[in-house]
Structures are given as C-alpha cells and as structure tokens.
Chains A and B, each alone.
Chain A
C-alpha cells in the first residue's frame, strides 16, 4: 500500500466530515430540530467561555486515559470493551481507600490514585483471565463485567456506603475538600489530572512504539500461534496488556472521584469507556490522532448539556454525532478499498 499524497488524504478527510454531517442531519430529521442552530448551540456550549473549556478539559482527561489505554490491548488485537467497568472499579477502589479518612493530604490522594489504578487493573485482569484461560471472548466478559461493576456501585451506594439517613442515586457522601485534586486556575479541571493524562500518553507511546515489549505484544496480536512457537509467552503478555489498559482506566475513575464529582455515584464513568472505544476506532487505533479526537468528542459532550436547556432536545445527540462520525470513517475506508480494488481489477 503506498502512502497517498497529503492533498488526497485531506480531500478524503473532508469527504468523511461531509458524509458525517449529512448522515447526522438525515438520522436526526425525525426529531424536527433545526440542524444548524443545533450545531451552533452544541459548539457554543463547548467552547463559548474559559470555564466551559475547563469543563471540556475535565472530560478530555478521563477520555484520553481510556482511549490510549485501549490501544495497548488492541495492539494484541484484543477488544477491551470492559474499559467502562474498569473506570468504575478504579473509582470504587479509590473511594474505598479514602473511606476511613475525613480529611487528608497529598499522601492520601496518592494512595487513592494508586488504589484506582489497582482496581482497574484487577478488573481488567479478570476479563483477561476469562479470555485467556476460560476462552470467553473479551467482548462478552468485558461487557458483562461492566454491568457487574455497575451493580457493585449501586449496591455500595444503596448499601454499606449510603449517606447517613438517605440512600439515593446522587451517590455517597462528598469527600472532604482537603482530598480534592487541586484545580487549574479557575477552571474545573485539575492540573494533576492533566499532568497524569499527558504522562500516561507518553508512557504508552514509549511502551508500544519504542520498546521490545511493544514489539512482542504486536507479534502476539499478529499471530498468537506463531508467538507460542517463538516462546513469546502470549498468555502472560495478553494479561499484561489487559492490565495496563485497566490501570489507565482505573486512574481515570480515580480522577473522576477525586477531581470531578468528589464522591462515588452510579454515573461515575459517564460512559467514557464506550466513547473511548469510538475514539480508538476513529483513530484506527493509532496513537497520534487520539488526543485530538478526544478533545473534539469532549467538546461535543460538554456542548450537548446545553441542548435540553436551550432547545428541549435530548443530550444524547453528542453520542449520535460521535457514532455517525466513526461510522463515516469506516464507510470512507471501505469505499476507498472498493475503488482501489476496482481499479486493480481493471
């Protein structure tokens, strides 16, 4: 496959975006919403002010953590659909580590972040063990464990960790202010979270593209049977890949607890796990575009909060646009493949 000229690539990218726009307008037509006004509200809601952009960054952090984490198992051709559950488990472990304390400092925060990583990694390991030793496809184990993690959260919130007096969907008792992650200026996003996301991004770049471990993982994904013959220890490596991803997702969950919601609540993951899968697919599982797609998706997510308030529309429109965009990427990929084959066939 030869690399096409940058202009051609750009033209195809434009075609993808146009297709996405057309498809979005087409599928949302039955709602009777004015398309251009809706889009205006959406972007103004995401980029209209500094505080809104702060919120976008607060979404970007967990989304990027999940999305770059996902690249690791995908290098081994594994679909870690369980990211969502791993985020939740990270949040649960993080809250558990904080439970006995009413107030604390940096040490407690670091322990809580570590607990989050551990929780996510262990939950991912469970999916990995089911895949490697039980031969349950990771799509089913991951998905099932997502629901189980949600069930555990609900049980905790309504059971042992319920707020004194009332148990409700609004979650556990809030954390003491001393346990909150420090904010970046006046913005809602924490600089600790941003720094951690960038660090994980760099770490995964090195791990996947600059290390022997990455090459071996790629080999395992490329052909697990040959990996056995090369004595690369495919099983151990697959489990490691799951755990790295789970760790990143767990960190995202911990940041959600410490930096965003300051408590454990049922919607702690905000479906970032599923959105991150869309990001990964849209980036064709390459690291480069991931942070930028995450930023765009974060703008959509934050902007969509304005829809019910200003236009009386459901906020799930952001999910629709994200889904349509990724689908458009696949359609354009497929069309290009089809055209090329037709040309080759003469």
Chain B
C-alpha cells in the first residue's frame, strides 16, 4: 500500500519535473517584466533538438545542453525584438510559438520514431533501502533532482541575492530601476535568456526522460500553455509556482488511473482535461478581484486570512516597454 502511494508520488515528481523547470524559467522572465508566450513551441523545439543531438552524438547530456541553448535562443529572439525593437511581446511570443512548433516537426522529420538514448536513472547509494523515501528517490531520473534543485536555486537567487533584488526591481518599476543606475534592458534580456534556457531544459526533460523519443505528436504539446497559467497561479513566486506545477502533474497522473476506471472514454479526452482545469484555476485566482467576492472575503475571517496568505500581484511592469532614451 505504502509502496503504491510512494510510486504514485514518484510518478507525480517525474511528470512534474519538466513543468517545474519551465514554470521556474517563465517566472524568472516574467519577474523581470517580460512575457515569453513562446513556451509551447520552445519546449517542443528544444525537445526535438535535444533528442536529435543525443541520437547523433550518443550523448544525452549534450542533448540537454543543446535543448537549453535552443530555449535561450528563442527567448533571445523574443528579447531583442520585444525589448530593443519595441514590438509587442505577446504578438512576437505567439508567432514564435507557432514557428518553433512547425520548425520542430519539420526539422525533426528524420528523427521521428527512432530509438535513442535517454538520461537513465541516478541511483543514490544508501537510501534505496529506506522505506517510503527509497522507492521515491532511491533510483530516479536525474531530471527530478535537477527540478528540485532548481526550485531552491531560483528562490534563493530571487529573494536572497543582490541580483535577485535587481531582477524584481526591473519588473516592478523599470523607471525607478533605471534611475538607480541599473541597465534595465540588459537585465531584462539576461533573464529572458536564463528563463528560456530553463524552458529548453524542460523540453529536453520531455524527450530524454519523461516521454523519451521524438515524433509528431511528441506528447508534450500544450504543456507550455499550462505552464503559463501555472506562473499566474503561483503568483510569480518560484516555490508556489512549483507547487502549482506538481498539482497539475498530479492531475495528469490521476488521469491515467481514471482512464483505467472509465475505459469507455477515449484516451484523447483525458489528454485535454488539464485545460478546463487551467481555465477554472485562473478563474478562481482572478475572481478574487471581483467586487462582490471581495465583500464576501472581507466579511469572512477564514477567507480573509486565506486571501492574504495567497495574495497574487503581478510584477507591476509586466509586459511594459521601457526605453531609457525617452528618459524618466
């Protein structure tokens, strides 16, 4: 019994790993005030590139690096066009989503349905025998360890370092940040690249660990959009966002069980289940701003406490352009 539970948890960690990585990446980027809408395509192209490189050079870790490079490159295109050329981040991001997706299918054509290496399992000696912990962490895919480490690193960087303070500053008020000698556009570009690299790592995690291999469809289509919603749900806080990612991973895993319970419902229906849940989650998050809901919350002490502890404020300058030449 405990073992089934532990295995389910391990499954959630695995399904959640790429979601966590991509969510952290997007959180970093959005915290700096840039919306990278290209996630869905970036993940797919990075997954393809990672798999193609792994097959060609027989080195999955080189594949991971290549996936990160692809993610960063797409984010870089968005960054340069959005930050320096002053075009709409949403529009460019959306174009890049479609472009990257089609490019992935086009370039990945010859790698379709090929066998290839994956990242394998990391065995941590000594804990395999510990009950409960053992089945979860004893011998697991390295992407799980990477994703858990990334949660801590992102939190630490954002809230405990000078660099993280600057990151939040440019997303909060680029004018004020510029006034204090911070090179706003450059900082934004950096976090665009860093966030993109994490998104690319998520793509590699899909094609090299979670759903190994390449094909059309790969199986990770749509994940990018879910991630964008999780970032909002997580209130732009890396730890909360990671919890949100695991929540969605849990839904996916439970979908597999439900499929066994209701064999009459076709499998593709379960694959689209996260999307209505995404909409409902956003609805729940955003309803907190509607007047009559606020009245209710103010009157009810339990709800009031809850809403205060889960207050969700977007970075004040999210999606806003900043041009230092125009001055303050």
Name the contact of A31 in the complex, choosing from B84, B106, B275, B283 (C-beta under 8 A): B106
Residues of B within 8 A of A136 (CB): 279, 282-283, 286
Name the contact of B278 in the complex, choosing from A81, A140, A331 (C-beta under 8 A): A140
The smallest C-beta distance from A316 to any residue of chain B, in angstroms, reads 4
Residues of B within 8 A of A341 (CB): 323, 325
Residue A22 lies at the interface, judged by CB distance under 8 Å to chain B:
no
Name the contact of B225 in the complex, choosing from A31, A144, A318 (C-beta under 8 A): A144
| Residues A31 and B109 in contact, CB atoms below 8 Å apart | yes
Residues of B within 8 A of A278 (CB): 95, 98
The smallest C-beta distance from A35 to any residue of chain B, in angstroms, reads 13
| Residues A144 and B95 in contact, CB atoms below 8 Å apart | no
Given contacts A145-B279, A155-B269, A334-B81, contact A316 B106 (CB under 8 A): yes
Residues of A within 8 A of B84 (CB): 334, 338
Name which of B90, B98, B278, B287 has the most chain A CB atoms within 10 A of its CB: B98
A140 CA / B279 CA spacing, docked (Å): 7
A140 CA / B107 CA spacing, docked (Å): 28
| Residues A140 and B282 in contact, CB atoms below 8 Å apart | yes
Residue A204 lies at the interface, judged by CB distance under 8 Å to chain B:
no
Q: Which of A184-192, A230-238, A319-327 forms contacts with chain B?
A: A319-327
Residues of B within 8 A of A333 (CB): 85, 87
The contact string, 1 if C-beta is below 8 Å from chain B, for chain A 152-189, is: 00110011000000010000000000000000000000
Name the contact of B272 in the complex, choosing from A139, A147, A312 (C-beta under 8 A): A147
| Residues A330 and B81 in contact, CB atoms below 8 Å apart | yes
| Residues B275 and A147 in contact, CB atoms below 8 Å apart | yes
| Interface size bracket, B side | 35 or more
Name the contact of B85 in the complex, choosing from A81, A155, A320, A335 (C-beta under 8 A): A335
Residue A345 lies at the interface, judged by CB distance under 8 Å to chain B:
yes
A317 CA / B283 CA spacing, docked (Å): 37
Residues of B within 8 A of A109 (CB): none
| Residues A330 and B109 in contact, CB atoms below 8 Å apart | no
Residues of B within 8 A of A150 (CB): 268, 272
A79 CA / B204 CA spacing, docked (Å): 30
The contact string, 1 if C-beta is below 8 Å from chain A, for chain B 79-109, is: 0010011110011101110110111011111
A130 CA / B276 CA spacing, docked (Å): 12
Main secondary structure, interface of A, reads helix
Within 8 A of B (CB), among A128-158: 130, 133-137, 139-141, 143-145, 147-148, 150-151, 154-155, 158
A135 CA / B291 CA spacing, docked (Å): 12
The smallest C-beta distance from A210 to any residue of chain B, in angstroms, reads 27
Name the contact of B286 in the complex, choosing from A134, A159, A281, A322 (C-beta under 8 A): A134
A143 CA / B227 CA spacing, docked (Å): 13
Residues of A within 8 A of B323 (CB): 341
The smallest C-beta distance from B320 to any residue of chain A, in angstroms, reads 15
| Interface size bracket, A side | 35 or more
A266 CA / B325 CA spacing, docked (Å): 51
A141 CA / B228 CA spacing, docked (Å): 12
| Residues A331 and B81 in contact, CB atoms below 8 Å apart | yes
Given contacts A333-B87, A334-B81, contact A327 B106 (CB under 8 A): no
A154 CA / B90 CA spacing, docked (Å): 30
Residue B290 lies at the interface, judged by CB distance under 8 Å to chain A:
yes
Residues of B within 8 A of A320 (CB): 99, 102-103, 106
Residues of A within 8 A of B275 (CB): 143-145, 147-148, 151
Residues of A within 8 A of B105 (CB): 314, 316
Residues of B within 8 A of A143 (CB): 225, 275
Residue A6 lies at the interface, judged by CB distance under 8 Å to chain B:
no
Given contacts A155-B265, A313-B109, A316-B105, contact A323 B86 (CB under 8 A): no
Residue A267 lies at the interface, judged by CB distance under 8 Å to chain B:
no
Residue A60 lies at the interface, judged by CB distance under 8 Å to chain B:
no
The smallest C-beta distance from A238 to any residue of chain B, in angstroms, reads 16
| Residues A314 and B94 in contact, CB atoms below 8 Å apart | no
| Residues A323 and B107 in contact, CB atoms below 8 Å apart | no
Residue A51 lies at the interface, judged by CB distance under 8 Å to chain B:
no
Name the contact of A134 in the complex, choosing from B95, B222, B266, B283 (C-beta under 8 A): B283
Within 8 A of A (CB), among B233-277: 264-266, 268-269, 271-273, 275-276
A333 CA / B269 CA spacing, docked (Å): 42
A323 CA / B105 CA spacing, docked (Å): 14
Residue B37 lies at the interface, judged by CB distance under 8 Å to chain A:
yes
A320 CA / B109 CA spacing, docked (Å): 14
A227 CA / B174 CA spacing, docked (Å): 29
A313 CA / B106 CA spacing, docked (Å): 7
Residue A337 lies at the interface, judged by CB distance under 8 Å to chain B:
yes
Residue B65 lies at the interface, judged by CB distance under 8 Å to chain A:
no
Residue A277 lies at the interface, judged by CB distance under 8 Å to chain B:
yes
What residues make up the interface of B, taking CB atoms closer than 8 Å to A? 37, 77, 81, 84-87, 90-92, 94-96, 98-99, 101-103, 105-110, 216, 222, 225, 228-229, 264-266, 268-269, 271-273, 275-276, 278-279, 282-283, 286-287, 289-290, 323, 325
Write 18 A-B pairs (CB below 8 A) sorted by A numbering.
A28-B103, A28-B107, A31-B107, A81-B94, A130-B283, A135-B287, A136-B283, A140-B225, A144-B275, A144-B278, A151-B273, A154-B272, A159-B266, A277-B94, A320-B106, A327-B95, A330-B95, A335-B85
- Given A140-B229, A333-B85, 14 new contacts (CB under 8 A): A27-B103, A140-B278, A144-B275, A154-B268, A314-B108, A316-B103, A319-B101, A320-B99, A323-B102, A327-B96, A330-B95, A334-B84, A335-B85, A341-B325
